[in-house]
Structure 1
Amino acid sequence: MFDELKSETLNRRSLLRSAGGFAIGAGALGLLAGCSGDGGNDFNPTPNPVNNDIAVLNFALNLEYLEAEYYLRAIDGTGLSAADSGGTAGTVTGGRAVNFTTDAYAQYAREIANDELAHVRFLRNALGGAAVAKPNINFTDAFNAAAKAAGLGDNFDPFANEVNFLIGAFVFEDVGVTAYKGGAPLLSKTYIEEAAGILGVEAYHAGTIRTLIYQIGGDAVVATSAISDLRNSAGGAGKDQPVIVSGRANIVPTDSNGLAFSRSVAQVTSIVTLGGANSQGGFYPNGLNA
């Protein structure tokens, strides 16, 4: 039984890699965007599962590049290696090692960094020759712009100290969960299980960050509440919640059925580009790679 399952998994990955010669360009990402409604819950996958998988996984890879760079730079000041970034990788602006004064926070950051690096490597391996390179990423301008839009001042440096780092991490983690849940109906059965595995890990990360923010309280809660409001505005109303609601802890943001929220490609892109024109801006000054 285990040998059969292992063989089936290897065959799945070989199938996806064989599509490496497929020219995924802007049209492929456009196809993906066209498969998801603005509400983030009504999906009509195209009948070509292999090509659809390529578009979905490459969209996820763009997000994983961003998260990996954030956490890797926070723990040791260096980001992804050239081998993990693709042959025509973009540059990264901003980011440096955080001076963690709480050992537990440093350990959490390192564990999450290792997970995000593993996600990048898994997706690049699965996509083979169809994997997009790391896009240009700008932490400095994006965090400053996000802070201003959220009413938190003109500047915000998430690498200045450990609390700022957690607030910065809050920007990404809930978005990752909703992106993977929203993208799940677009995938063929080939990669549903693997995507669910990544979603689960992202949810663990998000829960950890939200718990720490709740425990710290004070300005950290105020800042993340403003960020939650900003995401709610940019990425679909009613799909975001702060860590405190009605005076009570709200570690797990869910709908009335206790389900995680979904976001469409357009909604996720709007958040990470800070609503930039032509899907460019924010953390992706030149847009996501496709």
Structure 2
Amino acid sequence: MTDSVELIDALDRRVARRDHRREFFKAAFGMGAFAIGGAAALNFSTKASAQTSTITDADILNFALNLEYLEAQFYLYAANGTGLAANLLTGTGTQGAVITGTGANMARAVNFTDPAVRAYAREIAADELAHVTFLRSSGALGSSAVAQPAINISGALDGPFTAAARAAGVIPAGNTTTPFDPYADDNSFLLGAYIFEDVGVTAYKGASPLVTNKTFLQAAAGILAVEAYHAAIVRTTLYAKGVDVPALRTNADLISNARDSLDGATRDLDQGISPTTVNGALVSNIVPLDSNGLAFSRTPSQVLNIVYLNAAAATMGGFFPNGLNGNLRASVAAS
């Protein structure tokens, strides 16, 4: 089979997946696959609703800090085998531990075989460490910074990576014995990173209208740009490796579909990496954009739906087993 035919077949399969994914994920998530209970929260779906709330710039930056804790811990363990230093974990709220798991699938340094992927992992880990350090600094949150909440980055059978992969279909339905371990090898690491990166971009984009202080807004824009670079690195590498390993593109698309269903069945805020058509020409899909060529936005609630792995209203779960620290910690049911 020629490469062009393979790409066309991949496109046909992608369309079919999009046609069927809504009902699949409604069953997978809507029935409480990751349900942990929850409470109603402000949706912040528009700038107007934000203006009538009591959410402050510090609340927005602390929401971002919670997410940066998660990304930093994942990348630091994957790149170096150790996480954030103890002096970067303190703050307001309840400080939690990093759940790394035990045994063969615990969070650990990836035995990279591709020098490029190893270098990417180390660069992104250093960037995420810098984000945590900056947001906690006197130039940003200072003494108002929240402590790191409990974070689960285990690659074990009962870990959030496995739960996400199983519900997305990366692990076949009915397979309850195979974990998804993002520390197992280069490709698994890239798929694990893909779970986070696009979410980070859309989170900062969605939060930008809520920030009133221009200094904080500039800082958030700077972090957004870096997160977009990270997402592009991960998407490009998965796309390129997917030429020889088509399952990488397929699995990335499945993860994208899962994120899309978690943040609301009536929205389409995500795109996979498989080739698509523009003006009749087959093109890559490295940069996910709307019809105006703009990056997508997610509200804080939509982001929480994803990191809690729960489309219902929730205050904890998934990668944050006890929830986030700060005022923005409860999601509403996705619609």
Q: TM-score range by the shorter chain?
A: 0.7 to 0.9
Secondary structure of the structure 1 residue equivalent to 2:182 = coil
Query: What is the match of residue 203 of structure 1?
Result: 228
Residue type matched to 2:146 in 1?
V
Residues 48, 269 of structure 1: alpha-carbon distance in 2 compared, 3 angstrom cutoff: closer
Residue type matched to 2:135 in 1?
L
Secondary structure of the structure 2 residue equivalent to 1:274 = coil
Q: How far is 1:44 from its partner?
A: 3.6
Question: Is residue 2:44 matched to residue 1:36?
Answer: yes
Output the CA distance in 1 between the equivalents of 2:305 and 2:193: 18
Which residue of 53, 65, 70 corresponds with 2:69? 65
Identity among equivalent positions (%) equals: 53
Query: What is the match of residue 45 of structure 1?
Result: 50
Secondary structure of the structure 1 residue equivalent to 2:109 = coil
Query: What is the match of residue 173 of structure 1?
Result: 197
Which residue of 297, 315, 319 corresponds with 1:262? 297
Residues 170 and 224 in structure 1, CA contact (< 8 A), matched pair in contact too: yes
Question: Between Structure 1 and Structure 2, which shows a larger proportion of helix residues?
Answer: 1
Query: What is the match of residue 99 of structure 2?
Result: 93
Q: How far is 1:162 from its partner?
A: 1.0
Residues 221, 43 of structure 1: alpha-carbon distance in 2 compared, 3 angstrom cutoff: farther
TM-score, reference length from structure 2:
0.73
Which residue of 266, 282, 287 corresponds with 2:318? 282
Residues 105, 264 of structure 1: alpha-carbon distance in 2 compared, 3 angstrom cutoff: same
Q: How far is 1:48 from its partner?
A: 8.9
Output the CA distance in 2 between the equivalents of 1:177 and 1:43: 22
Residues 43, 263 of structure 1: alpha-carbon distance in 2 compared, 3 angstrom cutoff: farther
Which residue of 229, 248, 252 corresponds with 1:224? 252
Q: How far is 1:102 from its partner?
A: 1.0
Question: Is residue 2:168 matched to residue 1:120?
Answer: no
Question: Is residue 2:163 matched to residue 1:145?
Answer: yes
Residues 45 and 187 in structure 1, CA contact (< 8 A), matched pair in contact too: no
Residues 35 and 46 in structure 1, CA contact (< 8 A), matched pair in contact too: no
Residues 208, 114 of structure 1: alpha-carbon distance in 2 compared, 3 angstrom cutoff: same
Output the CA distance in 1 between the equivalents of 2:149 and 2:194: 21
Q: How far is 1:278 from its partner?
A: 2.5
TM-score, reference length from structure 1:
0.83
Residue type matched to 1:195 in 2?
A
Question: Is residue 2:206 matched to residue 1:182?
Answer: yes
Residue type matched to 1:226 in 2?
L
Gaps of at least 5 residues in structure 2 are: 1-38, 101-106, 277-281, 327-335
Runs of 4 or more above 4 Å deviation: none
Q: How far is 1:91 from its partner?
A: 1.1
Residue type matched to 1:131 in 2?
A
Aligned residues: 256
- Compare relative contact order (CA 8 Å, sep 6+) and give the higher one, 1 or 2: 2
Gaps of at least 5 residues in structure 1 are: 1-29
Query: What is the match of residue 187 of structure 2?
Result: 163
Q: How far is 1:46 from its partner?
A: 3.4
Q: How far is 1:245 from its partner?
A: 4.1
